[in-house]
Chains A and B, each alone.
Chain A
Amino acid sequence: MLSKSNLQSLLFLAVAVGITLLFLTGQVGGVLSGAGLPAYKADLFAFLAIVSVAVVSLAFGGNKTMIMIGGTVTAFIVLTAFQDSMVRYMTLGAIFFAIGAYGMVASRNAVRMLMSIELMINAANINFVTFSRAVDPEHLGGQLFAIFVLTVAAAEAAVGLAIVLAIYRNMATVDMEKFNLLKW
């Protein structure tokens, strides 16, 4: 039932959750101060620990998707647990942004690229609304900016998908690898 890679990734998940729990209960800070290091950097150390365990289990052939998802979730919790609520929201925005950037660079399908761009735009929107709540709660400049971003994103999606459809009609594919007409 459990393949080796799944076992690997479950092991990684257990370790990552363990590190997170240790961090949340303040153990990591205690260890750091015991070692003569500044305790307020405990979250960065826990984060690095999770990342290194993830890299090790990836090197041993764990299930990549599970490790990446589990690592991101635990790292997110570790990085934001003792932060301001504003930093929390913006870290989540940064994570969405990074995932979107990954999708944009790596994906082969043009429509998936468009979806990744939408994800990045939404990450920016989260930041705008967070600023609007925390910095400018009277004038709501961030929310208004988010509304305009929404509008522009709608226009972008419509035009982008129309372009994709036109390309598909001419080349019968939406694979970005094949769009190499403008080589030189």
Chain B
Amino acid sequence: MFGLVGRAVESLYYVCVGLWTVAKHTGRAPITKEFPDTMPDLPGAFRGRLALAVNPETSEHLCISCRQCERVCPDKCIDITAHKSPETGKLELIDFKIDHGLCMFCGLCTEVCPTTCIINTNDFEMSDYSREALIYDLKKLTLTQDESAHYFSKKYLPIPKPKPKPAPKPAAAAAKPADGVAAPAKPAPPAAKPAEGAAAAKSAPAATDKPAGDAAATKPTAEKKADDSKDSEKEKAAPEPSAAEGKAEPDKTEG
């Protein structure tokens, strides 16, 4: 009997403690973030909308059209159009499309990207009125220099080394004879260089002239032909827009 009463009093006491604990919270400022008014302070690792970064220092486009992101994407939402420039022999990016309606924001593409070009931004407001509007093209995807700098610093990414400027012509000349096959023995082939820069990001800038005999450079060669033929097919199918893009893009990346 007394045990029962004691337990009743005890449980009542704990109920009162609970009530008082909750009631004390009335005296606190609300922790609610009112979203459209105040944007949430998201961490750098947040996986939001995909975007293509430019070099935050030189503002050159980081994509090297290596198609690794396209291959790794489980949803097949990335679609890269590139062709081999006849002058330089390098791959030139014509269009880069990501269907955000398909994307599941797994972040695998950002993992494999050798140049840290494709990144997850903190932007998550992508709602639109049609599914077609969710397919972002190169223009929509490419970040400005300031935005790139912001995300590079936020994600603690190393700043990639700029592409060597004074070497367009020799590189083009060198690339012409060796059309289909990459030249691993040649010193500093420009096509492989940005990849090198990303892979060896922490090495000193002096190491740029290292010969590109690594796996990063040699592996893509096997698939290059197939890619090229695919690209030419695509160009045939839709020549005009891609040509326009191709014209527009180099200007943008240069400037």
Q: Do chains A and B touch in the complex (CB under 8 A)?
A: no
